[in-house]
A = this chain, B = another copy of it.
Amino acid sequence: MAGVRRGGRPAVIGDVARLAGVSPQTVSRVLNERPNVREETRSRVLEAIRQLDYRPNLMARGLVRRQAHTIGVISFDSVLFGPASTLLGIGRAARAAGYGVTIATPESFDRGSIVEAMADLTSHTVAGVITVFASQTAATSALLSLPKGLPAVAVEAAPDDSVPTVRIDQAEGVRMAVEHLLRLGHSTVWHVSGPRERMDAQTRIEAWRATLERAGHPAPQVVPGDWSAESGYQAGLELAEGQGVTAVFAANDHMALGLLRAFNERGIRVPEDVSVVGFDDIPEAGYLIPPLTTVRPDHEEVGRRSVETLLRLIDGQDDDAGDSQDAAVADVAVPFVVPTLVRRASTAPAP
């Protein structure tokens, strides 16, 4: 029952108006739930909309309102568990608020392709932008190339204070992980890090070091990784050679998984000989050999909060005369999402 159309074209507001016997403006009022429409008129219009299967043309609406009702998301590493979850949270929250989501995935991390992706988004098509895990120098600095006045929120990493940033409280998560190991009696904790140039990797390194030092333990050399299981495996082989390694904190679960494999291969038992803690609580974490103790950040919540923050920014902008834009940015609270520690079988008292 597709309804009557003019020559097969989708119905437009004028068709609805004609069928309902009112002006387009009245239809518009019904669509936008504005007051001062008689109940009887409203239902007549709604019936016409139903009959014609009418859908407002969002491009026309966006054009006249000068607002796209769409959020642009620039997403890196969107295959990874964390970013993918955040993306999901963003999508759901945006849709709930009546916003569409368009995503741009830069080809690579170099500044050029990032700026290009942003340009794509910003052709007046989005009301604001969220960058997800742009945690690399080139990426964060590209954030600054966004048109002045376009609301933006960064997830996890931003170049400076000009962009409100929603983050996992990584330092707190790392602290939980490291202190958990120390409480088990380990004399120190080794760290397999993410790629050095990534901000979140850097943050975790620093938090790890700080926690150790605060507790009066020496911080060993960082074993560098790149988030991948492969790099965790390599790190594990390296650590297996070392003496006195009894506790390792990996900057994410994938690397922890590689560690487990390497230790297993070398006949090192987890957790009897070495305790391992990860970060992310990927869905598989509880089913590794052994089940992995890890830090669980709520990535979806990060997505939700970033949308919330962005929408506040967008609304604030609408209200402003446009001059006190900076004040509005400063006003926006920058939420921290606090992770939890999930204890499983990969950690045990020091041997």
Bound CA–CA A227/B149 (angstroms): 44
Q: Which residues of B contact A2 (CB under 8 A)?
A: 147-148
Contacting residues, chain B, for A101 (C-beta < 8 A): 102-104
**Nearest residue, chain B, Cβ from A259:** B287
A327 in the interface (beta carbon within 8 A):
no
The one of B8, B87, B104 in contact with A78, judged by C-beta atoms closer than 8 angstroms, is B87
A91/B104 contact (C-beta < 8 A), A55-B123, A79-B81 known: yes
Confirm or deny: A164 has a beta carbon within 8 angstroms of a beta carbon on chain B. no
The listed residue (B87, B254, B260, B283) touching A229 by CB distance below 8 A is B283
A55 B261 Cβ-Cβ under 8 A: no
**A59, A124, A232, most chain B CB atoms within 10 A:** A59
Is A68 on the interface with B (CB-CB < 8 A)?
yes
With A287-B233, A287-B258 as contacts: A63 and B59 at CB distance below 8 Å: yes
Bound form: Cα–Cα A63–B56 in Å: 12
Within 8 A of B (CB), among A220-258: 228-230, 232-233, 254, 257-258
- Bound-state CA distance A60–B63 (Å) is 6
Given A104-B91, A229-B287, are A124 and B257 neighbors across the interface (CB < 8 Å)? no
> What residues on B are CB-neighbors of A62 within 8 Å?
59
Residue of B nearest to A62 (CB): B59
Q: A78-B84, A103-B103 are in contact. Are A122 and B55 (CB under 8 A)?
A: yes
Which residues of B lie under 8 Å from residue A288 when comparing CB positions? 257, 261, 288
Provide the residues of chain B in CB contact with A228, threshold 8 Å.
283
Q: Which residue of B lies closest to A125 (CB)?
A: B58
- Produce 1/0 per residue, A43-63, CB < 8 A to B: 000000000010111111011
Q: Are A264 and B289 in contact (CB under 8 A)?
A: yes
Question: Scoring A residues 94 to 114 as 1 if CB is less than 8 Å from chain B, else 0, what string do you get?
Answer: 010000111111010000000
Which A residues form the contact surface with B (CB < 8 A)?
2, 8, 10, 53, 55-60, 62-63, 68, 70, 78-79, 81, 84-85, 87-88, 91-92, 95, 100-105, 107, 117, 119-125, 147-149, 228-230, 232-233, 254, 257-258, 260-261, 264, 283-284, 286-289, 291, 322
Q: Other CB < 8 Å A-B pairs besides A100-B120, A261-B291, 12 of them?
A: A55-B123, A56-B123, A57-B123, A92-B105, A100-B125, A102-B103, A229-B283, A229-B286, A230-B283, A260-B289, A261-B287, A288-B288
Which 5 residue pairs are nearest across A and B when measured between Cβ atoms? A229-B287, A91-B105, A102-B102, A57-B124, A229-B284
